[in-house]
């Protein structure tokens, strides 16, 4: 796309957008009676208008049937989670049997680490990113301590090089090679929450396996945002939340992936619950856990139906739009935003904003992280006052994520105009 920093270009791009209709299916927050520019879908996605109807259906069935809703509801609660694997598997590039919707992200991360972080006297180290999202940090820290290891001895962290903002794949591969004889697990966020960098998950997975280690990913900022091929990449396990790009509500039910090659291994250690037990004998209430030979075998409890109803409202939209189209538009929006910032820097006497998200579209999704070199807090305050909902991260980064289902090129243009107003000479 040949970008132009003009309102005419933005409006024309929106008119030609094959996904433009989907914006009307979402509730856009208002400011002074007007739609805001909502650029925080990487933190909490907007509510689909259909969500209320989906949840109301389950409330109606609860009222009408009581406990019998497990079998007689329009969408029987007993098997409600079975609605998701076919559609969610398309979002993460998996086979339906490899996917399950359950719990919350960090719960799923812990459950998967129980199965896939199996340290031995020889192999016990974990390689991860330095300054990973805190929940990941705490999960890794406490798993290591649970197994009797100190972070100093068992944790290898990869950081950007001095003066850089993103990790280099070569540095990750070098660390894997250097620790290959003692490495148990390689665990990264597929998309870095701070910089928006998309990691080369296939290359990292291949290197981990070559070293004799397991490869897992937290896809909180990746699922519903970037193209994923978890099965084909041979990833061992992954987990994600649904409340960001997948618009399933605050604290919405999460998801997990376990590669097909592990599904029939009943000896694989896990923390079990009755909903992971073989369906045919689940209600016999007998001792002895017999896991379902799919990702469902990692379930603990029966489905949180109201949360899953909200999830279904969004997943149905994803299925209609299709991930290829969503990825294409998402990259076009973030590319346009980077283009506008670069033009603004070129026109200024000095560089005023540094884009720390990679320009290469294979290394970015919707999110663009802006390192504010001057007047950062003032710029953020003005954006919010003018109806642009963005995200501030200390010490001086503004994260924005124009997402394809409800954001427009005109939103990106307006964002650039406001920043330019604040940062240009005499701007307010």
Handedness of CA 354, 356, 359, 364 (dihedral sign): negative
Residue 426 pLDDT level (bands cut at 50, 70, 90): very low
Handedness of CA 346, 348, 350, 356 (dihedral sign): negative
* 125 belongs to a structural domain: yes
- Per-residue pLDDT of 234-254, as tens digits, reads 999 999 999 999 999 999 999
What is the C-alpha to C-alpha distance for residues 142 and 140, in angstroms, rounded to an integer? Answer: 6
* 241 belongs to a structural domain: yes
Q: Which tokens go with 45? A: 């996605």
Q: Are residues 289 and 358 in the same domain?
A: no
- Per-residue pLDDT of 324-349, as tens digits, reads 999 999 999 999 999 999 999 988 87
Q: Are residues 334 and 217 in the same domain?
A: no
Q: Are residues 269 and 337 in the same domain?
A: no
Q: Are residues 165 and 259 in the same domain?
A: yes
- Per-residue pLDDT of 207-231, as tens digits, reads 999 999 999 999 999 999 999 999 9
Contact 49, 26 (CB under 8 A): yes
Q: Which tokens go with 416? A: 């650039």
Distance of CA 42 to the CA centre of its chain: 8
Which CATH number characterizes residue 25's domain?
3.90.1150.10
Whole-model pTM: value is 0.96
Distance of CA 255 to the CA centre of its chain: 10
Helices 409-423, 7-15: inter-axial angle, 10-degree rounding:
160
Which CATH number characterizes residue 248's domain?
3.40.640.10
Quote the mean pLDDT of the chain. Answer: 96
The pLDDT > 90 percentage for the chain reads: 94
Q: What is the mean pLDDT of residues 374-387?
A: 93
Q: Are residues 68 and 174 in the same domain?
A: yes
* Alpha helix ranges (H) inside 221-375: 260-263, 305-321, 323-347
Q: Are residues 178 and 247 in the same domain?
A: yes
Pick from 320, 343, 375: which residue ends a domain?
320
Handedness of CA 28, 388, 194, 367 (dihedral sign): positive
Q: What is the mean pLDDT of residues 148-162?
A: 97
Q: What is the phi/psi pair of residue 197, to 5°?
A: -70, 130
Q: What was the pLDDT predicted at 425?
A: 54
Domain total of the chain: 2
> Which one, of 329, 326, 325, lies nearest residue 337 by Cα?
329
Q: Are residues 245 and 349 in the same domain?
A: no
14, burial (CB in 10 Å: exposed 0-12, middle 13-18, buried 19+):
middle
In this model, does residue 427 exceed pLDDT 60? no
What is the C-alpha to C-alpha distance for residues 56 and 114, in angstroms, rounded to an integer? Answer: 37
* 162 belongs to a structural domain: yes
Q: Are residues 233 and 90 in the same domain?
A: yes
* 227 belongs to a structural domain: yes
The whole domain housing 263 covers 54-320
Q: Strand, helix or coil at 277? A: strand
Contact 400, 368 (CB under 8 A): yes
Q: Are residues 16 and 115 in the same domain?
A: no
* Residue 260, C-beta contacts closer than 8 angstroms, at least 6 positions apart: 95, 97, 98, 231
Q: Are residues 154 and 214 in the same domain?
A: yes
Q: Which tokens go with 243? A: 């409340």
* Alpha-carbon distance values, 140 to 212, 231, 271 (Å): 19, 24, 17
* 41 belongs to a structural domain: no
What is the C-alpha to C-alpha distance for residues 178 and 171, in angstroms, rounded to an integer? Answer: 10
Pick from 284, 304, 320: which residue ends a domain?
320
* 154 belongs to a structural domain: yes
Distance of CA 306 to the CA centre of its chain: 21
Handedness of CA 215, 219, 221, 222 (dihedral sign): positive
The pLDDT > 70 percentage for the chain reads: 99
* 405 belongs to a structural domain: yes
* 49 belongs to a structural domain: no
Q: Are residues 303 and 332 in the same domain?
A: no
Pick from 277, 298, 320: which residue ends a domain?
320
Q: Are residues 23 and 64 in the same domain?
A: no
* Alpha-carbon distance values, 54 to 86, 235, 286 (Å): 19, 33, 35
- Per-residue pLDDT of 16-57, as tens digits, reads 999 999 999 999 999 999 999 999 999 999 999 999 999 999
């Amino acid at each position: 796309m040949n970008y132009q920093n003009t309102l005419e270009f933005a409006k024309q791009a929106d008119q030609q957008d094959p996904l433009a209709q989907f914006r009307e299916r979402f509730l856009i927050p208002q400011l002074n009676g007007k739609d805001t520019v909502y650029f925080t879908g990487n933190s909490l996605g907007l509510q689909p208008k259909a969500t209320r109807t989906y949840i109301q259906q389950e409330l109606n069935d609860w009222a009408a049937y009581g406990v019998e809703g497990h079998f007689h509801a329009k969408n029987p609660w007993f098997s409600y989670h079975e609605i998701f694997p076919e559609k969610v598997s398309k979002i993460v590039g998996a086979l339906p049997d490899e996917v399950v919707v359950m719990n919350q992200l960090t719960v799923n991360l812990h459950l998967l680490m129980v199965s896939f972080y199996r340290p031995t006297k020889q192999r016990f180290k974990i390689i991860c990113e330095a300054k990973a999202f805190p929940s990941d940090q705490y999960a890794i820290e406490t798993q290591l301590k649970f197994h009797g290891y100190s972070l100093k001895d068992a944790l290898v962290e990869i950081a950007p090089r001095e003066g850089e903002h993103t990790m280099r794949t070569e540095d990750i591969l070098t660390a894997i090679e250097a620790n290959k004889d003692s490495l148990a697990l390689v665990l990264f966020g597929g998309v870095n929450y701070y910089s928006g960098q998309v990691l080369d998950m296939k290359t990292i997975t291949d290197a981990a396996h070559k070293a004799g280690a397991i490869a897992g990913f937290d896809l909180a900022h990746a699922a519903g945002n970037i193209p994923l091929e978890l099965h084909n990449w041979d990833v061992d396990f992954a987990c994600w939340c649904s409340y960001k790009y997948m618009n399933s509500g605050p604290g919405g039910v999460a998801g997990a992936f376990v590669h097909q090659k592990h599904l029939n291994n009943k000896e694989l250690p896990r923390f079990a619950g009755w909903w992971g037990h073989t369906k045919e004998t689940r209600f016999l209430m007998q001792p002895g856990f017999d896991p379902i030979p799919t990702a469902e075998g990692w379930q603990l409890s029966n489905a949180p139906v109201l949360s899953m109803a909200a999830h279904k409202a969004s997943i149905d939209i994803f299925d209609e739009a299709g991930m290829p189209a969503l990825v294409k538009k998402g990259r076009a929006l973030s590319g346009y935003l980077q283009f506008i910032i670069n033009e603004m820097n070129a026109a200024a006497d000095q560089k005023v904003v540094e884009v720390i998200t990679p320009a290469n579209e294979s290394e970015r999704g919707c999110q663009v992280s802006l390192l504010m070199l001057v007047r950062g807090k003032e710029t953020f305050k003005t954006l919010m006052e003018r109806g642009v909902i963005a995200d501030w991260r200390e010490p001086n980064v503004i994260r924005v994520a124009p997402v394809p289902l409800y954001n427009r090129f005109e939103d990106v243009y307006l964002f650039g105009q406001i920043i330019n107003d604040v940062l240009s000479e005499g701007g307010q």
